Amino acid sequence: MKPKVTVVGAGNVGATAAQRIVEKELADVALIDIIAGVPQGKALDLMESAPVERFDSKMVGSNAYDVAAGSHVVVITAGVPRKPGMSRDDLVATNEGIVADVVRKVLPGSPDAVLIVVSNPLDAMCEVARRVSRLPRERVFGMAGVLDSARMRWFIAEALDVSVENTHAFVLGGHGDTMVPLPRFSTVAGIPIPELLPKEKIDAIVQRTRDGGVEIVNLLKTSAWYAPSAAVVEMVDAVLKDKKKILPCAAYLQGEYGMRDVYLGVPVKLGAGGVERIVEIALSSEEKAALEKSAEAVRELFRILKV
Ligand SMILES: NC(=O)c1ccc[n+]([C@@H]2O[C@H](COP(=O)([O-])OP(=O)(O)OC[C@H]3O[C@@H](n4cnc5c(N)ncnc54)[C@H](O)[C@@H]3O)[C@@H](O)[C@H]2O)c1
């Protein structure tokens, strides 16, 4: 049986993720949105590109959830994005209702699916999906760390004029101003960047990574989608192919890193079961304190959730 992925939200991130999934022939895709005509139109336009782009995966668009039934993975991008001057946290009240509604509608037809949350504020929306779905934590997690690490990787590759393929970067914590980029675990061909770049340059890369989202919002007047869609598709790929890939994802901690009952970006092993393991790495006291500060910012949002 061909794998099936539902992408909810046919906006910038959702439609581009759906495009990447069918172009790579990872799965057939059901694209769902509340705006009449938009998911249908985008799916049809994309299928009309298939003869030229040469893919045989199928995409259907709909405003109803019947087309989503039997999905292996559900990607939730429904919600409003940031405008200039807004933080991700400003979106909480609007997107909480949207994410809860999506989970209630999508789950009955796909009770075995893995849910990957993209809507912001990311860590809080993961918690909304977990509370509403009542699924085990293995099957409800969020995309942020792969994106934040990809941004950092690009800045490293650009600074050293090396292939992006040689770079590896490590960003932990919540998907917000308190995210924790870790230079000593960030490498080029296995060499930690503190051995390759001066401290001031590394500090600048760390800050630009933290501000990576806002830099794009200020340019585009809405949030990014090429890198976010690529990041979520890497996670979908790891689940569908049961790759057991270690990727930074927003996962629900139950004692790992000394924290409980909070979503936070940590390295996880992603496979067919979703988050199959949370990988714990030894952190310095400074790094640990930064992670705890990030968790506290996430918990603050949890407290104002209504679900
Ligand atoms: N986690 C990350 O790293 C990351 C990165 C980029 C964007 N985001 C977030 O992803 C979300 C989507 O961003 P975007 O740029 O694609 O926005 P967008 O406005 O282009 O698309 C959002 C889509 O969701 C749809 N939608 C709204 N309510 C819905 C509902 N109840 N059911 C189905 N669809 C619904 C809208 O009609 C719209 O088409 C935002 O919350 C944004 O902040 C997260």
What is the rounded CA–CA span in Å between residue 62 and residue 33?
7
Mean pLDDT of 189-201: 98
CA of 201 to the centre of ligand 1 (A): 33
Residue 217 DSSP SS3: helix
Q: How far is the CA of 192 from the centre of ligand 1 (A)?
A: 35
The yes-or-no verdict on residue 73 having pLDDT over 90 is yes
What pLDDT is stored for residue 33 in this prediction?
98
Give the model's pLDDT for residue 176.
81
Give the mean pLDDT of 52-58: 98
pLDDT digits (tens, 9 = 90+) for 129-149: 999 999 999 999 999 999 999
- pLDDT for res 82: 83
Token pair for 218 = 């200020």
- Look over the chain and give the mean of its residue pLDDT values, rounded to a whole number: 96
Task: Say what the pLDDT of residue 84 is.
Answer: 85
For residue 231, which atom of ligand 1 is closest to its CA? 3
Question: Which residues are the active-site residues?
Answer: 175
Mutate to test the pocket of ligand 1, among 20, 67, 76, 80 (most ligand atoms within 8 A of CB): 80
pLDDT band at 175 (very low <50, low <70, confident <90, very high): confident
pLDDT band for position 198 (cuts 50, 70, 90): very high
Would you state the pLDDT for residue 174?
A: 86
Rounding to the nearest 10 degrees, give the CA dihedral for residues 144, 147, 153, 156: -80
The residue ranking higher by pLDDT, 177 or 116, is: 116
Residue among 6, 19, 77 to mutate when testing ligand 1 (max atoms within 8 A of CB) = 77
Tens digit of each residue's pLDDT (9 = 90 or more) over 239-283: 999 999 999 999 999 999 999 999 999 999 999 999 999 999 999
Mean pLDDT computed over 16-30 = 98
Residue 24 alpha carbon to ligand 1 centre in Å: 22
Q: pLDDT band at 76, cuts 50/70/90?
A: very high
More confident residue, 88 or 226: 226
- Give whole-number Cα distances, 254 to 88, 157, 250, 257, in Å: 25, 35, 13, 9
pTM: 0.97
Distance 86 CA to ligand 1 centre (A): 15
- Residue with CA closest to ligand 1 atom 12: 77
Pocket lining for ligand 1, CB < 6 angstroms: 8-14, 32-35, 77-82, 91, 95, 98, 101-102, 118-120, 122, 143-144, 147, 175, 222-225, 228
